[in-house]
Amino acid sequence: MANMRYKLLGKSGLRVSELCLGTMTFGETWGWGASRDESRAQFDLFADYGGNFIDTSVNYTDGTAEEFVGEFLHGRRDHFVVATKYTLTKRDSPDPNSGGNSRKNMRQSVERSLRRLQTDYLDILYLHMWDHFTPLEEIMRGLDDLVRSGKVNYIAVSDTPAYIVSAANMLSELRGWARFIGLQIPYSLNGRTPERELLPVAKYWDMALLPWGIIGGGVLTGKYTEESSEPSRYNREETAERVRQREQTLRIIEEVRLIAEEVGRSRAQVAIQWVRQQGDKAQIIPILGARTVAQLEDNLGVLDWSLTDEQLQRLDDASAISMDFPHGFLDGNPYVYGATFDLIDDHRGRRR
Which residues are known catalytic residues?
A: 60
| C-alpha–C-alpha distance, residues 119 and 240, integer Å | 42
